[in-house]
Structure 1
Amino acid sequence: MTQQPISETKKKIIEASIYLFNSKGFAGTSVREIANRAKVNIAHISYYFKGKGGLLEYLVSHYYEGYIQTIEENYFQLKYRNAHNVLNKMVLDILNYQHAHRQLSRLVYREVTLDSILIREVMTTYLTKEKYYLQSVIEKGIEEGIFRKGFIPHIIIQLRSLLHMPYLQPQYMSEVLYIQPHETYFVHQYYKELKNWLNSLLLDNQSVEGKLVVSR
């Protein structure tokens, strides 16, 4: 899945809208404010996105296209690697994707908490795919005798919460915990902690010895 390059004008509109939607909220941002910040003619927003609603739809869909592609690429590695290695790499790649698109991650995850027609469509397409891939990897690990049996929906809830939390509550991270999720080192440190958590939650230590072969 190759994303087409976008024009400079369209890029300016996208960057301006992400900033304003994050700082003022979608409802509190006008099309004119987006155009002014992007330094483009207001008509360009209608031309490229058919208005503010279309712009939000584009941002959410564009984000999840890349997000699901990141998960899919790891899922397909189940043919060659055990589920433990696949899940660890999937988690790392999701963290890196979120970090590379951190302002958009913040916007999208906040919007997903709201009830709207757009978000219902996201739930039935992208998030259903996400659940399928995560569930399949965990089930494969159980089948391989690496992961212990558990209630998979609860595992997915916990994993998604830990993955997304830094972008849902960036002020809490920086102002209360004094952690800077925008820094590159955060991804590496956070991944180590998530990997330890996954190991403690999923690994069947009584039967896992000899079954984990690290794929390079």
Structure 2
Amino acid sequence: MKNNPTKEKVINAASRLFFQKGFHGTSVRDIAEAASVNVSLISYYFKGKQGLLEYAVTHYYEAYLETMEETLQHSESMSPLEKVKKLIYSIIQYKQSNLQLSCFIHRELSLDSVFVREMAVTYLAKENYLIRLAFMDAIKDEKKNNLDRQFLLMQLKGMLVTPYILHNEWKDQVIGDYSHTQFINKYVQTIHNWIDYVVHQDSA
């Protein structure tokens, strides 16, 4: 997609419209008009609206997982705590950089939308594996049983998706690149503080 500006323009337009109007509320003509392209071009590239959605979701998750894996590889020399913090930052930064598609996908997943879940299931399993691996390594503690660790992991995963499910709670505070960066830094710091507390509780 990076090498095809027209496809990228269509994906960006579709992401914006899916976010604003939902998948079923968006027509191919809406997308074509927003992207300033011919309707037939969308059929040529994506075989229709469903194909466009599949392409967008697939590309989103492939780039997302690649970002996570690279972050973990580059933080191999760090402590487990530093590594999971680095991973959290990269996750929020990626989701924020792809805000409208992030919100659309998480909204659909929270509604247990079949057409998104079927496309994303493999990616979600990989995402869960990477987050679990890093987090569990950071909170190793013989005093915690598996259920305690599972609850803590669930809390972390909830914090990672909350801004994109409850977007209306904070959208008016984030306008422009600078405020997006501020949001990333402040929200990530909130999660980091929680992790520090959890690890401190472990060692207390």
User: TM-score normalised to the size of structure 2?
Assistant: 0.85
Q: Contact 1:20–1:29 (CA<8 Å) still a contact in 2?
A: yes
CA distance in 1, matches of 2:104, 2:60: 10
Which residue does the alignment assign to 1:116?
114
- Of 84, 90, 99, 1:93 maps to 90
Q: Does 1:74 align with 2:71?
A: yes
Runs of 4+ in 1 over 4 A off after TM superposition: 145-150
Q: Contact 2:84–2:134 (CA<8 Å) still a contact in 1?
A: yes
Which residue does the alignment assign to 2:38?
41
One-letter amino acid of the structure 2 residue matched with residue 22 of structure 1? F
CA distance in 1, matches of 2:54, 2:155: 27
Q: Which moved more, 1:71-80 or 1:5-14?
A: 71-80
Which residue does the alignment assign to 1:210?
none
Counterpart mapping for 1:148-167 below 5 A: 150-151=146-147, 152-167=149-164
Distance 1:41-1:22 versus aligned 2 partners, 3 A rule? same
Q: Give the secondary structure class of the aligned counterpart of 1:26.
A: coil
Q: Does 1:133 align with 2:130?
A: yes
Counterpart mapping for 1:1-216 below 5 A: 5-77=2-74, 79-113=76-110, 114-123=112-121, 125-143=122-140, 150-151=146-147, 152-174=149-171, 179-180=173-174, 183=179, 184-203=181-200, 204-206=202-204
Following superposition, the deviation at residue 156 of structure 1 comes to 2.7
Provide the aligned length of Structure 1 versus Structure 2. 198
CA offset digits 1:131-186 (Å, max 9, x no partner): 1112222333355x5995553332232112212211222222246xxx43862211
CA distance in 1, matches of 2:77, 2:103: 34
Higher helix share: 2
Which residue does the alignment assign to 1:212?
none
CA distance in 2, matches of 1:139, 1:78: 16
Q: Give the secondary structure class of the aligned counterpart of 1:99.
A: helix
Q: Give the secondary structure class of the aligned counterpart of 2:203.
A: coil
TM-align CA RMSD: 2.4
Q: Contact 1:109–1:168 (CA<8 Å) still a contact in 2?
A: yes
% identical equivalent positions: 34
One-letter amino acid of the structure 2 residue matched with residue 133 of structure 1? L
User: TM-score normalised to the size of structure 1?
Assistant: 0.81
